[in-house]
Amino acid sequence: MQKRFQLLVFDWDGTLMDSAAAIVASIQASCEDLGLPIPERERAAHVIGLGLKDALSYAVPELPPSDYGRLAERYRHHYLARDPDIELFPGMREMLAVLKEKGHLLAVATGKSRVGLDRVLEATQLKSIFDSSRCADETHSKPHPAMLQELMAELMVEPESTLMIGDTAHDLQMALSAGVPALAVSYGAHPKDSLTEFNPLACIDMPQDLAPWLARNA
Where exactly are the structural domains of the chain? 7-18+87-217, 20-85
Choosing from 11, 54, 167, 171, the catalytic residue is 11
3-state secondary structure of 198: coil
Please tell me the pTM assigned to this model: 0.93
Whether residue 33 lies in the annotated active site = no
For 210, what's the count of Cα atoms within 13 Å in the CB-facing half-sphere? 29
Helix (H) / strand (E) containing 164: strand 162-166
Q: Which pLDDT belongs to residue 1?
A: 45
Q: What share of the chain is helix, strand, coil (3-state, %, to 5)?
A: 50, 15, 35
Q: Which pLDDT belongs to residue 63?
A: 86
Tens digit of pLDDT per residue, the chain (218 long)? Answer: 457 999 999 999 999 999 999 999 999 999 999 999 999 999 999 999 888 778 888 888 888 888 889 999 999 999 999 988 999 999 999 999 999 999 999 999 999 999 999 999 999 999 999 999 999 999 999 999 999 999 999 999 999 999 999 999 999 999 999 999 999 999 999 999 999 999 999 999 999 999 999 999 99
For 184, what's the count of Cα atoms within 13 Å in the CB-facing half-sphere? 24
Distances (CA, A) of 73 to 22, 54, 140: 16, 15, 21
Q: Which CATH code of 3.10.20.30, 3.40.50.300, 3.40.50.1000, 3.20.10.10 fits the domain covering 7-18+87-217?
A: 3.40.50.1000
pLDDT digits (tens, 9 = 90+) for 85-121: 999 999 999 999 999 999 999 999 999 999 999 999 9
Q: Which CATH code of 1.10.150, 1.10.287, 1.10.15, 2.40.128 fits the domain covering 20-85?
A: 1.10.150
Whether residue 18 lies in the annotated active site = no
